[in-house]
């Protein structure tokens, strides 16, 4: 059944965190069943599929982004160069912080937190953001930094 779940999601079958997620889900469902004869295999399949899919999307979204990566394929500028350089002149720094100050509150919090050296996990905990919201903020901040870089 576990292999069928992986096949239905077009995920390569391998023994790792997704495999463990599938087995833990199965064992929890099986344990909570009153009698083995009443176990609903079809319902179990869909529950396990849902949990494996959630774990798979979480694993993909939790990959670490390197600051040495380009901003995007069209802009070869490394992400690290979008952060404020302490050696830049006063006017550039002032313009950069003025631009950050005009952003929405959560975008500004994210940008200032990253400049301070906070990790995304720390910011997520501090501001009680959901993981999906944090990823959305990262995307928005990236777009804002692209606009800033072109201006």
Distance in angstroms (rounded) separating the CA atoms of residues 72 and 109: 23
Q: Are residues 74 and 145 in the same domain?
A: yes
Non-local (6+) Cβ contacts of 27 within 8 A are none
Mean model confidence pLDDT for the chain: 80
Q: Are residues 89 and 143 in the same domain?
A: yes
Q: Are residues 75 and 145 in the same domain?
A: yes
> Looking at residues 69-97, what average pLDDT do you find?
67
Residue 73 pLDDT greater than 70, yes or no = no
> Looking at residues 137-151, what average pLDDT do you find?
88
Q: Are residues 74 and 141 in the same domain?
A: yes
HSE value, Cβ hemisphere, 13 Å, CA-based, for 80 = 5
> Looking at residues 65-70, what average pLDDT do you find?
66
> Looking at residues 46-66, what average pLDDT do you find?
78
Domain final residue, candidates 21, 39, 61: 61
Q: Are residues 101 and 133 in the same domain?
A: yes
Alpha helix ranges (H) inside the chain: 2-8, 17-32, 41-61, 90-101, 105-116, 120-127, 131-150
- pLDDT-derived band at 151, boundaries 50, 70, 90: confident
Q: Are residues 104 and 129 in the same domain?
A: yes
Q: Are residues 52 and 98 in the same domain?
A: no
Angle at which helices 41-61 and 131-150 cross, to 10°? 30
Q: What is the pLDDT of residues 111-130, one digit of tens each?
A: 988 888 888 889 999 999 99
pTM: 0.43
Q: What is the pLDDT of residues 31-54, one digit of tens each?
A: 877 666 677 778 888 888 998 888
Nearest partner of 52 among 24, 21, 29, judged by Cα: 21
Residue 37, SS3 per DSSP: helix
Whole-number percent of the chain with pLDDT over 90: 21
Residue 69 near residue 79 (C-beta atoms within 8 A) = yes
HSE value, Cβ hemisphere, 13 Å, CA-based, for 147 = 9
E strand residue ranges, the chain = 70-72, 75-78
Provide the residue range defining the domain that includes 42: 2-61
Residue 34, SS3 per DSSP: coil
Q: Are residues 75 and 109 in the same domain?
A: yes
């Amino acid at each position: 059944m576990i292999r069928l779940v992986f096949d239905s999601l077009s995920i390569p079958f391998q023994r790792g965190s997704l495999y463990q997620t599938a087995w833990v889900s199965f064992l929890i469902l099986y344990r909570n069943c009153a009698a083995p004869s009443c176990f609903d295999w079809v319902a179990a399949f869909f529950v396990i599929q849902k949990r494996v899919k959630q774990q798979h999307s979480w694993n993909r979204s939790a990959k670490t982004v390197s600051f040495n990566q380009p901003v995007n394929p069209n802009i070869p500028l490394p992400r690290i160069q979008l952060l404020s350089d302490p050696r830049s002149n006063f006017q550039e720094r002032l313009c950069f912080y003025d631009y950050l100050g005009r952003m929405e509150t959560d975008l500004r919090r994210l940008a200032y937190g990253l400049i301070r050296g906070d990790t995304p996990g720390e910011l997520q905990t501090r501001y009680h953001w959901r993981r999906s919201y944090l990823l959305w903020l990262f995307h928005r901040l990236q777009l804002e930094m692209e606009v800033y870089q072109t201006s």
